[in-house]
Amino acid sequence: MNNKKIFIEPLFRNNPVTVLVLGICSALAVTVKLEPALVMALSVTIVMGFSNVIISLIRNTIPNRIRIIVQLVVVAMLVILVDQVLKAYAYEVSKQLSVFVGLIITNCIIMGRIEAFALANKPIPSLIDGLGNGLGYGIILVVVAFFRELFGSGTLLGYQIIPNALYIKNGGFYENNGLFILPPMALILVGLFIWVQRSVTKELIEKK
């Protein structure tokens, strides 16, 4: 597989969230607003890129029996770095993300890509695979967060998008849809995303 294909595949056709069903926990919990979703997507991409490279560099020296522990330690170290950087430079967002930054450690996308790709490939393709999957994960986060923030709060990245004059309290007809703020809506949105994706790419449809 060439590098371009490694990068493009996970963005849509082989998306880690909607096709491989990896990393859903964090994908859903941080998508109430667009900003934390962007930060989360960036953090996961960075951790995944670096962990893939590190594991790929030492792949021939890791004893097979203890590889899970080695992988966890490498990932945990990277997550601690990301967490500390976020606490220092983006404290508000890091508070909103709360435990979910720590949960990147057990994000199955990262372990999944290390197991499936980095353990068997050279560092450069592993880096590209990590970044591609990170972005594929990021796309779902951003799409879900976009709809949830737009319909749930009428804002995007904190800026008011739906004109204030349209709201009922200002004499208009519009009201924010509170359902979009609630956690279950993220699941339903991902479900609809899968529906759209599988209507476009028919070969993903599951057999009866």
Partner 1 sequence: MQELINIFVKSIFIDNMVFAYFLGMCSYLAVSKNVKTAVGLGLAVIFVLGVTLPVNFLLHKYILSSGSLVWLNPDYADIDLSFLSFIIFIAVIASMVQLVEMIVEKFSPGLYSSLGIFLPLIAVNCAILGGSLFMQERGYETLAQATVFGLGSGLGWFLAIVALAAIREKLSYSNVPAPLRGLGITFIVVGLMGIAFMSFMGIKL
> Which residues of this chain interact with partner 1, rule CB under 8 A?
18, 21-26, 28-29, 68-69, 72-73, 76-77, 79-80, 83-84, 98-99, 102-103, 105-108, 111, 179, 182-188, 190-192, 194-199, 202, 204-206, 208
Task: Tell me how far, at minimum, the Cβ of 124 lies from partner 1, in Å.
Answer: 27
* Residue 3 beta carbon to partner 1: minimum distance, rounded to whole angstroms: 28
Q: How far is the CB of 121 from partner 1 (least distance, A)?
A: 21
Between 19 and 128, name the residue whose CB sits nearer to partner 1: 19
CB of 77 to partner 1, least distance (A): 7
Alpha helices in the chain (DSSP H): 3-8, 24-29, 34-57, 67-89, 91-97, 108-116, 123-153, 183-200
Residues 23 and 137: beta-carbon distance below 8 Å: yes
Q: Which of residues 83 and 123 has its CB atom nearest to partner 1 in the complex?
A: 83
CB 141 within 8 Å of CB 27: yes
Q: Which is nearer to partner 1, 77 or 156 (CB)?
A: 77
Q: Report d(CA 101, CA 87) in Å as an integer.
A: 11
**Smaller CB separation from partner 1, 53 or 78:** 78
Sequential DSSP letters for 71-102: HHHHHHHHHHHHHHHHHHH-HHHHHHHGGGTG
Nearer to partner 1, 98 or 170 (CB): 98
Q: Tell me, what DSSP letter sits at residue 120?
A: G
The least CB distance from residue 190 to partner 1, in Å, is 5
β-partners of residue 87 are none
Q: What angle do CA 67, 51, 132 make, to 5 degrees?
A: 125
